[in-house]
Amino acid sequence: MRPVSKKKPGDEVEFITSMNRKIIHTIKEDYDPYTTAKAPLIANLGSFCSYCEEPRSIGDMHVEHVKPKDVYKELKTKWNNFLLACNICNSVKGETDVDYNKTHFPHNDNTFLDFVYEASGRVKLNPTLPADLKEGAEGLYNLAKLGRDPFGEKATSEQDFRWKHRYESWKLAEKLLVEYEDKKHSVEDIVYYANLKGNWSVWFTVFKGKDEVRKALIENTPGTCAECFDAGNHYEPVRR
């Protein structure tokens, strides 16, 4: 899961409206209604679900409350309680309460460390995680129901195609890796397809060893936390 650097109240973001008007917006502490935070969030984090990393249009993206708004009504309009989510991730997370001490989140932790992405489209908990990170990773894994797939012990929902989208992204990334090595594609091409298809963690995994591509994926996917990756060690993830 892509770790992100979320801006704070007082920071600025820039976006273009549907009327092609450029807006320089100063992040506020409160957004009432909370849906008005969507454009600033997308400007900050890119138009990707914060959990499954799938791309969504602005109309299909949800302002996601980390702590559920119906439980913590005082946090319903607070910027610090917002992320972005697709309809599936927003639905599976639902009104589940969260404890930041027991659950990792992409704006607080290096969540790329938490999971292993596979060619089948499955996501698994990273078996090499240090003991003090395991609880938080498990909390996030269970919260977002990342174990939903047709292959494991936990049955998937018939409407949850997140695993299949990861599988499709992996197949495309593998194909483009071969073509990239044959000099048929540039770094810019890879980043273009990665951002178009989504599933950043899949692309970052497939292009392991291609430092120039990993660097570009970090620098050209809005909001990615650059400090979460060691440029001196092939952009491998580090603790946050």
| Range name among 142-156, 160-174, 217-231 with the lowest pLDDT average | 142-156
Integer Cα distance of 148 and 52 in angstroms: 12
Phi, psi of 222 (to 5 degrees): -50, 135
Model confidence at 74: pLDDT above 90: yes
Average pLDDT value for residue range 170-184: 98
Domain of residue 46: give its range: 12-237
Number of domains in the chain: 1
Task: Say if 2 falls within a structural domain.
Answer: no
Asked if 4 and 107 touch (Cβ cutoff 8 Å), the reply is yes
Model confidence at 154: pLDDT above 90: no
Q: Against a cut of 0.85, is the pTM above it?
A: yes
Integer Cα distance of 46 and 103 in angstroms: 23
How far the first Cα of the chain sits from its last, in Å, is 14
Mean pLDDT of the chain: 96
Task: Say if 223 falls within a structural domain.
Answer: yes
Q: Hey, is 223 helix, strand or coil?
A: coil
Task: Say if 6 falls within a structural domain.
Answer: no
pLDDT given at position 157:
78
Tell me: the pLDDT tens digits for 102-130? 999 999 999 999 999 999 999 999 999 99
Q: Hey, is 132 helix, strand or coil?
A: helix
Task: Say if 148 falls within a structural domain.
Answer: yes
Task: Say if 7 falls within a structural domain.
Answer: no
| Range name among 1-5, 116-120, 148-152, 206-210 with the lowest pLDDT average | 148-152
Task: Say if 225 falls within a structural domain.
Answer: yes
Task: Say if 174 falls within a structural domain.
Answer: yes
Integer Cα distance of 30 and 37 in angstroms: 9
Task: Say if 1 falls within a structural domain.
Answer: no
pLDDT given at position 151:
81
